[in-house]
């Protein structure tokens, strides 16, 4: 079907599956043949491929993006009594990961426009915590690369160094992004990403990876991933968990990684097409100097979002909202809302709208979405 006939998909995993089907089947068959369903050779192969691509020092494949963050926090010894600074506007997994370690999330407002953690507000929140919460020790900063755009790591790293904090990046949405020439995975001491099927690099199930730029952490991360065991995997020498990725998922991810650069280039081209089409109509995704998005989602800001969405839906254009509620307002996290003053996060949560976006979208489909959007505003 041509771009003008087929229904527009918000994500399209089927077109990608058709493209890589032969490679995926061959790789899955190889796993069936060798039978090492856990820790088969695909795991090391995937970790090596991710290492080469990212420029990190160590890569450890794990069971999900959430587990990547939990294990990264555990590897740095973050736990009860520690404060971890997280953005107020992100997926719930960011705060859950912190709470699962026993540490306390401290919410930080976002930068207007980029939707990522605001370095100035971070500084204020660290100072306020040191002055007013002697029961909590500032330990870590967990920026999130929302919609694929890397956070302002140079500014956040400067603050972290001055304050003696570690940066653990939540890059669940941004694999493929970069700051200048440094890829996501090498932008922080530790980075967690997700291989949830709709992520920029997604498997056919759950998965994730931890990237480390610190020497010596790989062994600790691998130990925690396997119940905290020693190298012989017998005695537990620290607290750990089952955080393993399985061989089938690694096989799928290797097939996806083979086309990742092409897909990323297509995402970049589609984002540019959306930008050019919509520049006079809506607020476009920010493009801060030096920060290249992984383009997980294409997200604009509109007034009267519900009405716009309803009209787009009638015109056959699916949309999504990530996220309509800020974390400090969610019942699970209200106890950590602090002063509740997150104006930029609140503003974004009322206005963000994600448009259909995936590497198999056709130019004509982008044009149709934009036409429908202009009519719906």
Ligand X SMILES: Cc1ncc(COP(=O)(O)O)c(C=O)c1O
**Segment lying near ligand X (by CB under 6 A), choices 13-21, 30-38, 91-99, 261-269:** 91-99
Residue 328 per-residue DSSP state: G
Task: Tell me how far apart the alpha carbons of residues 190 and 187 are, in angstroms, rounded to a whole number.
Answer: 8
Q: Which residues pair with 69 in a beta bridge?
A: none
Among 173, 213, 249, 299, binds ligand X (CB under 6 A): 173
Shortest Cβ distance from residue 200 to ligand X (Å)? 11
Cα dihedral 352, 357, 363, 365 sign: negative
**Segment lying near ligand X (by CB under 6 A), choices 1-9, 39-47, 169-177, 236-244:** 169-177
Shortest Cβ distance from residue 376 to ligand X (Å)? 26
**Segment lying near ligand X (by CB under 6 A), choices 89-97, 108-116, 329-337, 361-369:** 89-97
Q: Which residue carries 């976002």 as its tokens? A: 110
Among 54, 94, 213, 247, binds ligand X (CB under 6 A): 94
Report the length, in residues, of the chain.
Answer: 377
Tokens in use for 135? 């029961």
User: Binding pattern to ligand X, positions 183-212, x when CB under 6 A?
Assistant: -----------x-x---------x-x----
Shortest Cβ distance from residue 244 to ligand X (Å)? 14
Instruction: Find the binding residues for ligand X in span 40-79 (CB under 6 A).
Output: 64-66
Task: Tell me how far apart the alpha carbons of residues 241 and 226 are, in angstroms, rounded to a whole number.
Answer: 6
Tokens in use for 216? 């010596």
How many other CB atoms are there within 10 angstroms of residue 122's CB atom? 25
Shortest Cβ distance from residue 359 to ligand X (Å)? 18
Task: Tell me how far apart the alpha carbons of residues 320 and 314 are, in angstroms, rounded to a whole number.
Answer: 14
249 binds ligand X (CB under 6 A): no
Q: Which long-range contacts (CB under 8 A, 24 or more apart) does 130-135 make?
A: 133/83, 135/81
91 binds ligand X (CB under 6 A): yes
Q: At a CB cut-off of 8 Å and minimum separation 6, what does 74 contact? A: 101, 224, 239, 240
**Segment lying near ligand X (by CB under 6 A), choices 20-28, 45-53, 81-89, 167-175:** 167-175
177 binds ligand X (CB under 6 A): no
Task: Tell me how far apart the alpha carbons of residues 105 and 261 are, in angstroms, rounded to a whole number.
Answer: 35
Shortest Cβ distance from residue 229 to ligand X (Å)? 23
Instruction: Find the binding residues for ligand X in span 107-166 (CB under 6 A).
Output: 144
Summarize as ranges the residues that interact with ligand X (CB under 6 A).
64-66, 90-91, 93-94, 144, 170, 172-173, 194, 196, 206, 208
């Amino acid at each position: 079907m041509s771009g003008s006939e087929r229904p527009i998909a918000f994500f399209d995993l089927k077109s990608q599956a058709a493209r890589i089907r032969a490679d995926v089947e061959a790789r899955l068959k190889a796993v069936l043949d060798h039978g090492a369903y856990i820790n088969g050779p695909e795991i090391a192969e995937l970790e090596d491929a991710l290492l080469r691509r990212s420029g990190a020092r160590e890569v450890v494949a794990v069971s999900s993006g959430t587990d990547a963050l939990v294990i990264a926090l555990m590897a740095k010894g973050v736990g009860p009594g520690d404060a971890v600074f997280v953005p107020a506007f992100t997926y719930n997994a960011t705060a859950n990961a912190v709470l699962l370690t026993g540490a306390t999330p401290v919410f930080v407002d976002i930068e207007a426009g980029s939707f990522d953690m605001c370095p100035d507000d971070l500084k204020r929140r660290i100072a306020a915590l040191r002055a007013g919460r002697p029961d909590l020790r500032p330990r870590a900063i967990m920026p999130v690369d929302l919609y694929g755009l890397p956070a302002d790591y140079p500014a956040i790293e400067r603050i972290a160094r001055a304050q003696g904090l570690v940066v653990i990046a939540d890059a669940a949405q941004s694999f493929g992004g970069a700051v200048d020439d440094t890829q996501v995975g090498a932008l922080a001491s530790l980075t967690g990403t997700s291989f949830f099927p709709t992520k920029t690099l997604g498997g056919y199930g759950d998965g994730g990876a931890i990237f480390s730029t610190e020497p010596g952490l790989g062994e600790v991360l691998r130990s925690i991933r396997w119940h905290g065991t020693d190298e012989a995997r017998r005695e537990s020498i620290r607290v750990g968990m089952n955080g393993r990725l399985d061989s089938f998922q690694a096989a799928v991810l290797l097939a996806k990684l083979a086309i990742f650069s092409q897909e990323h280039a297509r995402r970049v081209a589609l984002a540019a097409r959306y930008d050019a089409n919509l520049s006079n109509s809506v607020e476009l995704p920010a493009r801060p100097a030096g920060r290249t998005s992984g383009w997980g989602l294409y997200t604009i800001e509109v007034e009267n979002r519900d009405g716009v969405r309803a009209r787009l839906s009638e015109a056959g254009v699916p949309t999504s909202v990530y996220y309509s509620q800020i974390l400090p307002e969610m019942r699970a996290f209200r106890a950590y809302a602090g002063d509740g003053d997150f104006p930029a996060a609140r503003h974004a949560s009322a206005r963000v709208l994600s448009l259909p976006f995936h590497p198999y979208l056709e130019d004509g489909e982008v044009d149709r979405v934009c036409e429908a959007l202009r009519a719906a505003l």
